Amino acid sequence: MVAQFWIAGVLLAFCASSAFSSGFCYKEDEGCGPSTWGGQCQTGTRQSPINLPLGSSHPSSTIKLDLENYKADSFRLQNNGHTIHVDFVGQGGPSSAPRAFPDPIDSSIVRDYVFAGAHFHWGTSHKEGSEHCVQNICSQMELHLVHFDNKYSSLEDAIASGDEDALAVLGVMIQEPGISSVLTGSGVITEALAPIVMNLKKVEEPDHHNLVVVDEPLDFTPLLNGNDLAKPLVYTYKGSLTTPGCNEQANWYVLRTPALTRYKDFEMFRTTPKTDDGKTLDDNHRPLQPLNGREVKLSVVV
């Protein structure tokens, strides 16, 4: 399993780069935006992201999720021209251990997944940036923590399997404090993004083959539960990747309360990374997709 963890980050970057080579972009006026994406991006029936219902602040259902130990003593950064990708350097440790994810709809079914890496989606204003929205209100950024089913040897093998439960994606919406939202939390501002933000200049230009090693600790955990007044709430549903080919193989777990970080962090993401054609990398979020009758659950994380 140690070897799987080390390879997973490489494969995540590889899979992303392969998709990008087909002319994938987010700007419709450039002729390669979401309306031109092929395959399941156009024909699928369980696509992501979606508009999430507000729901009750005290849902009756519960779900057991491990929101701890997304951390490492060093990490790797990559700008692949479409997002900032992050994975952890080293072998072993709690972040590489398989973690249980209950099925999004039937929580009695539990599968073990391995953390592969993370990436971000963001916008150019405080009203957009996240891929998922709650009651049509979007946050400024969304972090995706991507996992693959432990029964596969790698992320690549998991995707190649066609298994509709091959991936588990934990989504975290992020915004700056003081922004009007349908959701509020404790108001705690996290500095968890600081190690990434401080090193964004190192990946200002896209590189599809190399990742920059940063010998500093990184811990995503405060983003997952630092702004909740009580126990975190999470939306769960069956969906897809949000980039071509939009494979319908992802079980989604989207935390309801946005994490809070500082304005300067968003500005660094909005102004530093560049695309392959030298433009500013921004607004890299897919439009909301039809629900098509799918069930979306809101549960208390226990």
Could you check whether the bond before residue 245 is cis, i.e. omega within 30 degrees of 0?
yes
Distance separating alpha carbons of residues 174 and 270, to the nearest angstrom: 14
Residues in the chain: 302
Distance separating alpha carbons of residues 224 and 253, to the nearest angstrom: 11
Distance separating alpha carbons of residues 79 and 208, to the nearest angstrom: 7
- Could you tell me the CATH number of the domain that includes residue 235? 3.10.200.10
Which pLDDT value is given to residue 58? 83
Full-model pTM: 0.92
Which pLDDT value is given to residue 226? 66
Distance separating alpha carbons of residues 198 and 169, to the nearest angstrom: 26
Distance separating alpha carbons of residues 151 and 97, to the nearest angstrom: 13
Count of domains observed in the chain: 1
Q: In which domain, by residue range, is 103 found? A: 2-301
Calculate ∠ Cα 91-97-101, nearest 5°: 145
Which pLDDT value is given to residue 184? 65
Which pLDDT value is given to residue 182? 64
Which pLDDT value is given to residue 92? 56
pLDDT tens for the chain, residues 1 to 302? 333 333 334 444 434 434 434 578 999 999 999 999 999 999 999 999 999 999 887 898 999 999 999 999 999 999 999 999 999 976 456 677 899 999 999 999 999 999 999 999 999 998 999 999 999 999 999 999 999 999 999 999 999 999 999 999 999 999 998 876 666 677 889 999 999 999 999 999 999 999 999 999 999 999 998 666 678 999 999 999 999 999 999 999 999 999 999 999 999 999 999 999 999 999 999 999 999 999 999 999 99
Distance separating alpha carbons of residues 97 and 168, to the nearest angstrom: 15
Distance separating alpha carbons of residues 232 and 148, to the nearest angstrom: 23
State how far the alpha carbon of 252 is from the alpha carbons of 8, 104, 216, 248, 255, in Å. Answer: 19, 7, 29, 11, 10
